[in-house]
Amino acid sequence: MGITETLGGDPALTAILIMLTGVIGSIMVTPLMNALRMKDWRARGFAVGLASHGIGTARAFQVHSLAGTFAGIAMGLNALVTALLLPLVLALLLD
């Protein structure tokens, strides 16, 4: 939300969209991964951590502890990369 505010966006809208993404992702993750026949808990967890943030990570922990662990790793890496690279990419695009 701090990044959004720094870049001139609306932090409230960002918060709502993040929550919506998390809820939708946590609802859809298990049926989608089963339909795609993904059996590796590490890949399932990493995917949900990238796409569904904290709510999806909590759901991954409910399904399998290894999936939850990798979801947490993915969520942390996503936050780090976003915080470091997004301002640089936007600076290049706005110049």
Per residue in 60-94, pLDDT (tens digit) is 999 999 999 999 999 999 989 988 998 888 889 88
Q: Which amino acid is at 4?
A: T
Per residue in 35-50, pLDDT (tens digit) is 999 999 999 999 999 9
Per residue in 1-59, pLDDT (tens digit) is 777 887 788 889 989 998 999 899 889 989 999 999 999 999 999 999 999 988 999 99
Residue range of the domain that includes 22: 2-94
pTM exceeding the 0.85 threshold for the entire prediction: no
pLDDT value of position 1: 74
What is the domain count for the chain? 1
Q: Which residue has the higher pLDDT, 95 or 78?
A: 78
Cβ-based burial of 42 (10 A; exposed 0-12, middle 13-18, buried ≥19): middle
What DSSP element (H or E) covers 86? helix 65-94
pLDDT value of position 87: 84
